[in-house]
Structures are given as C-alpha cells and as structure tokens.
Amino acid sequence: MVVLLKKDPNKQQLEGLISWLQSKNIEVHPTVGQTRTILGLIGDTSVIDIDLIRALDIVEDVKRIQEPYKNANRKFHPDDTIIDVSGVKIGGGNFAVIAGPCSVESEEQICSVAESVKASGANLLRGGAFKPRTSPYSFQGMRADGIRLLLEAREKTGLPIVTEIMDAEQLPLFEDVDVIQVGARNMQNFELLKKLGKLDKPVLLKRGFSSTLEELLMSAEYIMAGGNSKVILCERGIRTFETATRNTLDLSAIPVLKELTHLPVVVDPSHATGIARLVAPMSLAATAAGADGLIIEVHNDPTRALCDGPQSLTPEAFDSLAKQIRHMQAALA
Ligand code: PEP
Ligand code: MN
C-alpha cells in the first residue's frame, strides 16, 4: 500500500499515523520528495482500513498495490483450484454443466427434469427450494419439502444437487446437499458467508447484481478465511441501464476473474438474460470465454413454471444446447 501525504503534513499527525501502522505490524518506509512525501507500507495491509487512512487531514491519496484478498488470490495459489463435488470435478479444465428448474415444484417435475438433463449430459442438478422472490406474494419455494425432493431426484439419477440457502438457520436442512448456492441477493450477507466458511462443502457464490468483481472476491474470501476453500464463483449478470435483457451478462468477468483468482468460474446465462432464446448464444460465448461451467434453468413446461418460466429451456432445447456446448469445447481444444 502506498500513502501519498499532503504538502507539509502536520508532524504530530504524521507520527501518530506511523506509530498506528507500526502497531499493526506494518513497516513504514517514507520517501521524501521535493514537495511531497510518500509512505510505502510493507506487511499484511489487508488488516488496514484504507478509507480510515484516506480520511486523515494529512493524506492526499492511498493506493493498494496488492489486492485485499489473499486466499482467493491467484498470486498466492497459481494453480487452478479443482473442486470435487461428490465425484464431479469443476475447474482446472473440468467443465461442469448444472441444469434444472428455477424452483422445485413437485416430485414429478423435479424427477422428470433431472432424468432428462442427465440424459442430455448435465453433471449436476439445480433446483430452488428456498426462493428469493421480489414480491412476498410470489411462490416462495417448497422449502424443506423441496430439499427432500431434490435428494430423491439425486437418488434416482445420481446427479449431485445444487440449491440456494437464504438464511443460516436453514443450514441443518442442507446437510446432505452437495453444493450450497448463495444467491446474488445474499452475496454480501457476511454472517451467512462466515457460517458457510466453517463447513467442508462446496459453495456456489453468485455475483451480486451491483457488485464489482473485487467485492465478489472479498465475499469468497469471507468463506475461505473460515477454512472452506471450496468456492465456485458465478457470473449471473449485473444491472446496467440496458432494459432489453433482465441483466447484462458481464462476459469479461470470466477472463478477468481467471486472472485474479484460482477459483472456478461458472456462468448463469438464464438469470443474466431472462430470455430463453438468448441462453444458447450466451452459453456458447461463456464457454468460449473460458468459463469452467454453466448453470442453466430447464423446465418440463416453461409456460406453467412457478418461477422464471420465460428464461427456462425445455428439455429438448437443453438437449440441443448441450450438444452445441460439446462442439464448442471440441473446437476450443
Ligand atoms: C437462482 O439461481 O434461482 C437465483 C435466484 O439466482 P440469482 O441469485 O442469480 O438471482
Ligand atoms: Mn431462477
């Protein structure tokens, strides 16, 4: 970290700043220029609140040289992390397709979608049991029954399951779930992230719709700092001024994240676009851009879906997309 001081800083305040930094085990190296002094800080500056320093009267500007996340940082872990989800690997060249309905609606629905996506080559089954809906009057999910039905679908198909948690008090219900999803709305629910950090279970962490990539990585850091390094990042579109799609898929997030972190990156083209016919082109684009996997909504009868029907693929459309994804992968190999 580098601190640029204002001209002629108050000596007492400067000494106060230096001794405060030293008390945090930071070495301070002043460089006195003709008009300005710069302090070079060496040590674990992740413990320093950059805004606190910036707010000081004697400080002109502060710059971080190193990223504030350590566990998620590729600099300290150059090799790709490969996450093993009950036998299915994600990352480091292992591409995973996660497919299934937005919400679990019935035994018949989840089991039939599970069978069909499996036959098309999906590696994991998704399905929401706890649904974060904008309106409290919309379908809120089947909750505990939904998780029970997902486990039943796993039993029938062998597909590991991914489902969203909304509150730490639901954790006991997630004991047998293979991947816990943290949705966009909870990306910065730090207390929840800390609790997930105590588990030995993969977490699919979705990007908040107004979060920067650094904020996404800091949320991953919350989980990893607790000891759980099994974090899968998910780009699911962000809010922009564009209204033609539900969100705007930030495709550049894929190569940027792959540079910054060793964690696997999957893409959700369903929530990113909100429109079923855009899911295939965006899935192929994400695959070409280097994603480690995709999470795609598939419903047996999208027009009657209780949630997110307009963006859900039919099993037939998913089958044809799965083939195209394999062709894209072959073309890239
Ligand atoms: C979901 O995956 O069903 C979901 C609600 O996604 P997001 O958190 O990305 O909106
Ligand atoms: Mn959905």
Nearest CA to ligand 1 atom 3: 102
- Nearest ligand by distance to the CA of 187: 1
My answer on whether 218 and 144 are in the same domain is yes
**Quick one: pLDDT at residue 89?**
98
Q: Which atom of ligand 1 is nearest to the CA of 126?
A: 2
Binding pocket residue ranges, ligand 1, CB within 6 Å: 102, 128, 132, 183-185, 206, 236, 268, 271
By most ligand atoms within 8 Å of CB, the mutation choice from 271, 297, 299 for ligand 1 is: 271
Q: What residues sit around ligand 2, an ion, with C-beta below 5 angstroms? A: 102, 308
Task: Tell me the CATH number at 30.
Answer: 3.30.70.1140
Q: Tell me, yes or no, whether 209 lies in a domain.
A: yes
Say yes or no: 210 and 169 in one domain.
Answer: yes
* pTM of the shown model: 0.92
Predicted confidence at residue 35, as pLDDT, reads: 87
Q: How many helices (DSSP H) and strands (DSSP E) are in the chain? A: 10, 14
pLDDT, one tens digit per residue, over 23-54 is: 999 999 999 888 899 999 998 888 889 999 99
Residue 47 pLDDT? 84
- Which percentage of the chain shows pLDDT scores above 70? 100
- Give the residue, by CA position, lying nearest to ligand 1 atom 4: 183
Quote the domain boundaries for residue 54.
2-63
Domain count within the chain: 2
Q: pLDDT tier at 277 (50, 70, 90 boundaries)?
A: very high
Query: Which are the contacts of 180, defined by CB distance < 8 A and separation ≥ 6?
Result: 163, 164, 165, 174, 196, 199, 201, 202, 203, 204
- pLDDT tens-digit map of 182-234: 999 999 999 999 999 999 999 999 999 999 999 999 999 999 999 999 999 99
pLDDT tens digit string along 81-137?
Answer: 999 999 999 999 999 999 999 999 999 999 999 999 999 999 999 999 999 999 999
Q: In 3D, which of 92, 158, 155, 93 has the Cα closest to residue 123?
A: 158
Does the residue 76 lie in any domain?
no
Kind of pairing, strands 161-165 and 179-182? parallel
**Which atom of ligand 1 approaches the CA of 308 most closely?**
3
